[in-house]
Amino acid sequence: MIEGAPWRRWIFFYVPVTGFVVALLFPFYWMIITTVRPDRELYRPWNAPNYAPFWTMHPTLDHVRDLLTTTLFSTWMLNTMIISLAATAISLFCGLLAGYALSRLKFPFAGMIGTGIFITYLVPQTLLFIPLSDIIRNFKLGDSPWALILTYPTFLIPFCTWLLMGYFKSIPKELEECARIDGATRWKAMLYIIFPVAIPGILSAGIFAFTLSWNEFIYALVFLSSPEQKTVPVGVTSELVRGDVFYWGELMAGALLGSIPVAFVYSFFVEYYVSGITGSVKG
């Protein structure tokens, strides 16, 4: 905490924090207010009388109703959910085993393999989608959920591996040694001791992986084409911007509903998630 006179606390703490919070939350506020604002207010020019962009006197759920009845939004939600869960599960499984191996087992080139995995994470998706689309076409996976379920792990596995590797390193190796003396094989020690202790790390890796897949845009845009296969980010932006007409109300309603699962997951696991990132195991 900042010490000294009250004005110091105001200048160095409350004012910056307030600014930060407002800057962070304003887009969400804008999303909500645009969702419930009727069309006649949305498309009113800025110099019209009674122009009030920051609030509305006539909130309406028309846009949400339109979104759910006239578009495939619920299908997109379901697609996104299935794809995100599957990609997260695959990545967590691989990341757990790889992270454990890289942090605990001594084998030749362990360090190099670790760095190698990290480097693949650094290759930007905007480049990687070109060779990947070739592969997707060759395996005839285009326009199916598998195209994403199998390509998302290309960036999720390195991510999970590194996060979990760091977490496993923070667990005292004596825990495992003790388990092995107590009669557990390495596999059992991993299953009964290391993984349960690493739950905060595993959960945060899972949350991150889920969020990354949920929000992923470019692969989904490139690999999927028919409207009923699309995910929320692609569906909303491609189906609700028709020609040069932006259906702002529906767009924002889609964004709002689409961010609910992520917000839910975060708030539910926030405690685990914080201790997972700070990586503290208390004995």
Q: Which of 15, 55, 115, 174 binds another protein (CB under 8 A)?
A: 174
Binding mask 196-235 for another protein (x = CB under 8 A): xx-x------------------------------------
Coil/strand/helix, residue 241: strand
Convert 175-214 to b/e letters by CB count within 10 Å (16 or more is b): ebeebeeeebeeeebbeebbeebbebbbbbbbbbbbbbbb
- Give the gyration radius of the chain's Cα atoms: 24
- Number of residues this chain uses to bind another protein (CB under 8 A): 21
Handedness of CA 28, 257, 267, 207 (dihedral sign): negative
110 touches another protein by CB under 8 A: no
Binding mask 243-282 for another protein (x = CB under 8 A): --------------------------------------xx
Coil/strand/helix, residue 245: strand
CB of 201 to another protein, least distance (A): 13
131 or 283: whose CB is closer to another protein?
A: 283
Letter for the amino acid at 279?
Answer: G
Contact region with another protein (CB under 8 A), list: 46-54, 136-144, 159-167, 178-186:
178-186
CB of 187 to another protein, least distance (A): 12
CB of 171 to another protein, least distance (A): 9
Show contacts of 133-140: CB within 8 Å, 24+ apart: 133/222, 133/223, 136/223
Structure tokens at 223: 């690999």
Phi first, then psi, for residue 279 (nearest 5°) are 60, 55
111 touches another protein by CB under 8 A: no
CB of 111 to another protein, least distance (A): 14
CB of 118 to another protein, least distance (A): 25
- Is there a contact between 198 and 275 (Cβ–Cβ < 8 Å)? no
Residues contributing to the site for another protein (CB under 8 A): 172, 174-175, 177-185, 188, 192-193, 196-197, 199, 281-283
